[in-house]
Amino acid sequence: MAISKVTVHFPCPVEKVWQTVTDLSHTAWRSDLARAEILDESRFVEHTKNGYATEFTVTACEPIRRWAFTMENGNMSGSWEGIFQETEGGTQLTCTETVMAKHWWMRPFVPGYLKRQQKRYLEDLRKELLK
């Protein structure tokens, strides 16, 4: 199992960060996604530009405070949690992601993959919030 926890600061209101992160109908800012498919109020599927699908189930939704979900695809299962905190001059977002590879041969690559994915996501989010 790999765990990655990252805390970043954005110079904008917590409401804007929350809205951008949780609005599954607007994912064009994500450089890795082709689209997100909303199944119901607590389940959605993200489709990468390479056509790979990952299913998500929301486990916590406390507006402008906390959003969490489990995730699963053919290669991994895991969870993600975002903690949103208003700070002087903006918002602090702490993302914690836990991933377990389903194939033994993938396990050594998961920590590096997870860090790259989180970095890409947060860079995309920063670009979207600051435009």
**What are the tens digits of pLDDT across the range 36-87?**
999 999 999 999 999 999 999 999 999 999 999 999 999 999 999 999 999 9
What is the model's pTM? 0.94
Which DSSP category does 32 fall into? Answer: T
**Tokens 């903690």 found at:** 83
The domain spans of the chain are: 2-31+62-129
Query: Any idea which architecture 2-31+62-129 has in CATH?
Result: 2-Layer Sandwich (3.30)
Element (H, E) at 84: strand 76-87
**How would you label 62-80 residue by residue, b for 16+ Cβ within 10 Å and e otherwise?**
eebeebbbebebeebbbbb
Under 8 Å between Cβ of 17 and 23: no
Spatial contact of 101 and 1, defined as CB atoms under 8 Å apart: no
CA 125 – CA 26 distance, rounded (Å): 12
Give the pLDDT band (50/70/90) at residue 5.
very high
